[in-house]
Amino acid sequence: MGAAIPFASKRKAVECMSAADVKYWTLSHYPARSGQEQRFAFRCPKHKDSWCGDLLIAGTTEIKRNGQNQDGGVAQWEWDGDRDNPTFQPSINCQGCWHGYIENGRCVSVNKTDEPEPIK
């Protein structure tokens, strides 16, 4: 790994283009401290300053998992446990909005190219 990044420049990185800026919540929608993460939301590349998601993190709840939201289950995402620069699998299909991946804290397209900064 590289040298530690000073807080000021780290903050700038979060604000630059296509940062997913992921927020974590508990199942009951309280802000999650480290170790409590059950849901996540991300800054949508298609809408400036709006968060999409409210998605379940796999393995953190008793809720049945089903990638197609069928058979009484719901889609859930594997999280690598990195709060600051998270990677989630599989891809996220924000219906009618955006479809892509969150990798290392960035929103990337399904073609694995960095998404441009949201315009509106």
Which residues of the chain form contacts with Zn ion (CB under 5 A)? 44, 52, 94, 97-98
Cis peptide before 116 (omega within 30 of 0): no
Minimum CB–partner distance for residue 55 and Zn ion (Å) = 11
Residue 36 or 93: which CB sits closer to Zn ion?
Answer: 93
Minimum CB–partner distance for residue 96 and Zn ion (Å) = 8
Residue 5 or 97: which CB sits closer to Zn ion?
Answer: 97
Minimum CB–partner distance for residue 118 and Zn ion (Å) = 10
